[in-house]
A = this chain, B = another copy of it.
């Protein structure tokens, strides 16, 4: 059962990434304004119907949002139960970090996304909306562990700090020259520990 889930999950990640990378490549080759959903779908070898199962728009398709870690890892995190808030925060970042080490984002893809978001307000809007959604998922994940509600203050603060650390790391990663994002996140965690006095 877990194995089937793992296969489906891998295929989902792969299709997601192929559409995303195709969208970024075509935007780079032809200019973002000129590329259509039809062209991206054809080039990625999927139907437009499949495209829209993964992304609501071409703006969204050039956005690489980290997918949530696999359900079983999230379940382990949740099962650890209530703890000091700063421990929950560091555990959550560790959960994302391990997933990122297994599926590292490509530096040129992230670089393309940040560059497009600076030139196209609609891409910036899609990126910020993506961060927002991801952050809500993180708050829900924290709440599932601590027994709070996702809209309570502590889950939201923990989620926002986690998101800020990840986002800062990824921006630094794209302007650096190391193809491995993990050390950038680890550096952000060090900064975070200094902020938390740990």
Which residues on A are within 8 Å of B, measured CB to CB? 84-86, 89, 121, 124-125, 128-129, 132, 151, 153-154, 156-158, 160-161, 163-165, 168, 171-172, 187-188, 191-192, 194-198
List 10 A-B residue pairs with CB atoms under 8 Å apart, sorted by A's residue number.
Answer: A86-B196, A124-B129, A125-B125, A153-B187, A154-B194, A157-B191, A160-B163, A160-B164, A161-B161, A197-B197
Q: Hey, which chain B residues are within 8 Å of A129, CB to CB?
A: 121, 124-125, 128
Contact A195 B85 (CB under 8 A): yes
Which residue of B has the minimal Cβ distance to A163?
Answer: B160
Q: Which residues of B contact A197 (CB under 8 A)?
A: 84, 86, 196-198
Q: How far is the CA of A62 from the CA of B160 in the complex (A)?
A: 24
**Roughly how many angstroms separate A151 CA and B169 CA in the complex, as a whole number?**
11
Bound CA–CA A156/B156 (angstroms): 17
Can you tell how many copies of this chain the complex includes? 2
Are A157 and B153 in contact (CB-based, < 8 A)? Answer: no
Contact check: which of B85, B171, B187, B188 meets A194 at CB < 8 Å? B85
What is the distance, in angstroms, from A145's C-beta to the closest C-beta of chain B?
15
- Which of B89, B128, B153, B161 is in CB contact (< 8 Å) with A160? B161
A187 to chain B: which residues have CB within 8 Å?
153
Query: B161 touching A165 by the CB < 8 A rule?
Result: no
Chain B residues with CB below 8 A from A151, complex form: 171
Contacts of A89 in B (CB 8 A): 195
**Which chain B residues border A192 with CB–CB below 8 Å?**
157
In angstroms, Cα B197 to Cα A125, docked, is: 35
> Which of chain B's residues have a CB closer than 8 A to the CB of A194?
85, 154
CB distance from A126 to the nearest CB of B (A): 8
Residues from chain B with a CB closer than 8 A to the CB of A198 are: 197
B157 touches A168 (CB 8 A): yes
How far does the alpha carbon of A7 sit from the alpha carbon of B37 in the complex, in Å?
52
